[in-house]
Amino acid sequence: MISPMMPIMLLPFLLLSAAEAQQQQGTSNVVKPGNSLTPKSNVLSPSGLYAFGFYEQGDGYAVGIFLVGLPQKTVVWTANRGSPPLPADSKLDFTTDGRLVLQSQGVETRLNIASEGQVLSSGLSKSNQTMGKFLLLMQENGVLAMYPVGTPYTEDYAYWSSVFEGEALLLVEGGILTLDDDGRLYLFNGTGIYTQNLTSRNPTKLLYKLTIDPDWILRLYSHDMTQTGNWTIAWSRPDDGCAPKGLCGLNGYCVLNDRDVDCKCLPGFAPVKEGDWGSGCERNFTAESCSASSEYTMIESNTEWENDTYSRFTSSTKENCRELCLKDCNCEAALFIDGVGECTKQRLPLRFGRTIISTDTNPSTVAFIKVGASTLPKECKKELRLVLIISVSVSLVVFALIVLAISGFGIYKNRVMSYQMMSNNGNIELGEDVAPKSFTYAQLENATRGFKKELGRGAFGTVYEGAISNGQIKEIVAVKRLDRSMLAERERQFHAEMKSIDSNFPDEEVNLKKWANHCFGRSELGKLVNNEEVDKRELEKMVKTGLWCTLDEFPLRPSMKKVLHILEGTENIPESASSISSLISV
């Protein structure tokens, strides 16, 4: 790390000429040992341009050297800049041993008037000379550089240095840096003199001052003594008004419009103190829960800041970077560097913010800021809601079409495979929950093994024995092969034979539905289980559900989903099904 402790002397920014210094030695307008100054008195220089003593600052006073006789008051030097304003009863004593002692409210403070080893710091404002947040110093390597207060004196934090100008101003041990009365910067380094002229002319009636202004730009001003105008800028560095790092405080960023500089807060932030950008910005919302993703959204911002990341991803995309930060409770912002696919997550506070400057050597950067959904303007909310509705609607439609296509294909494939298996195996599989269905001639031919075993003959056809596979059980069935001659008559004959079968067997062996309905209507459900010990409520629920499922009116039947819920006990049979017995045809 480079140390700033190299002796430096900026002699003084507004210099008295050698002649004035000689005149001052013979004048009586001096502070003698044992004398004092009050806020109502000061000491003038022989030229009448400079004064030493108290001047007004804020709601009190400060001690320093300042210009008088000019339309615009200019402070050259202030003692103890970090101290608060002094009250009106303060007094400055020049002791007999040559010390300047400030008496204020019973407290003695020795003024520090040494110029070597000092740094030049900015003021808070043009009217407040309290030490600001930026400074100019000569580093150990002889480079003149400007830094934000409180940052390391390294290249990463310098927002301007003399090296940037192409030829460094190098100061060796014991050297002196001074600005003369013609605006020329002199460097006395013990081996020679290096001169850099900061002005374009060399008049003899100009005053110069070199200051770090409240916007943290180093400027050289000139004032023509023959005119009554204000100070004019002769030279300034850096040229970029947003170059001073931290100009807009924490979580703020600098905007440069031509040469005008403006500060703004990042999306989702508000100034801590209106008009004081040095105080930075703070969150303008509080989320109830980090896990509630609906409370947050990511806003794309044309800003960049110090890339102090805690998590870095490569081979990422812009949208992926956005989602990575949105789902991370610790992530408050993210930077995505296009071209290299790098995504870096950031925590608060965000420092040194400014609008993004993209060049050929500086890849394009996209910034994402996490904000509360409740803080978005109404226009943004409406737009976000519309985009969300459209996105969800399109997603649901596409999902429904996909599900419909998959379901249709699955049903079709299942049925085709079912028929193929029956045909290939020579058996007809009949699922337990499948309703009666028709069969092809080839299927019946396979079931009867080519109509091999004849059981009997009737007027309209011959009956053969066949076998239908029902899971692991083979059911023996009768298959009647009708003659082709009399179509209408043979169908009537077939139904007549079915009725004869119905009359030859008890109801419970032919029509279980009728029997169950009969027992249900007479509260004799025990007959269905041979009066075994069973849970009567479960039995009643199962019988009632079964009867409900076999209603002749198909629209009155429950869905399979409802049936499963009833049997699982998660749903009750509705009251409308209590009269189920009266709806069943017997």
Residue 579 scores a pLDDT above 60:
no
Omega before residue 349 within 30° of 0, cis: yes
Instruction: Output the known binding site for ATP.
Output: 480
Which residue reads 């150990």 in tokens? 140
pLDDT at 181: 57
The token pair at 223 is 């004032």
Asked whether the CA dihedral 128, 161, 280, 241 is positive or negative, the reply is: positive
235-249, 288-302, 356-370, 415-429: range with highest mean pLDDT: 235-249
Confidence of residue 535 (pLDDT cuts 50, 70, 90): confident
Residues contacting 61, CB < 8 A, separation 6+: 39, 54, 55, 85, 86, 87, 88, 90
pLDDT in tens, 309-359: 898 998 788 999 999 998 888 899 999 988 788 999 999 899 999 987 765
pLDDT in tens, 44-82: 887 777 888 898 888 899 888 888 877 667 888 888 877
CA separation (Å) from 415 to 116, 164, 399, 410? 98, 80, 24, 9
- Whether 453 and 465 have beta carbons less than 8 Å apart is answered as yes
Residue 430 scores a pLDDT above 50:
no
pLDDT in tens, 450-499: 888 887 776 667 888 888 776 666 777 888 887 666 556 666 666 666 66
Enter the DSSP assignment of 163: G
- Whether 558 and 549 have beta carbons less than 8 Å apart is answered as yes
pLDDT at 167: 47
Span 428-445, average pLDDT: 61
Asked whether the CA dihedral 244, 246, 247, 253 is positive or negative, the reply is: positive
**What is the C-alpha to C-alpha distance for residues 363 and 341, in angstroms, rounded to an integer?**
10
Three-state SS for 135-153 is EEEECCCCCEEEEECCCCC
CA separation (Å) from 565 to 96, 560, 562, 572? 104, 9, 5, 8
508 or 525, which is more confident? 525
φ/ψ of 515, rounded to 5, equals -65, -45
Residue 447 scores a pLDDT above 80:
yes
Q: pTM surpassing 0.85?
A: no
Q: Beta-strand (E) ranges in 142-271?
A: 144-148, 160-161, 176-179, 184-188, 193-197, 206-212, 218-224, 232-237, 252-257, 260-265, 269-271
10-14, 291-295, 404-408, 431-435: range with highest mean pLDDT: 404-408
The share of the chain scoring above pLDDT 90, in percent, equals 6
pLDDT at 584: 52
The token pair at 140 is 């150990």
The share of the chain scoring above pLDDT 70, in percent, equals 67
Mean per-residue pLDDT of the chain: 73
**What is the C-alpha to C-alpha distance for residues 174 and 7, in angstroms, rounded to an integer?**
7
Span 383-388, average pLDDT: 58
Instruction: Output the known binding site.
Output: 480
Query: Which residues on neighbouring strands pair with residue 67, listed in sequence order?
Result: 50, 74
387 or 24, which is more confident? 387
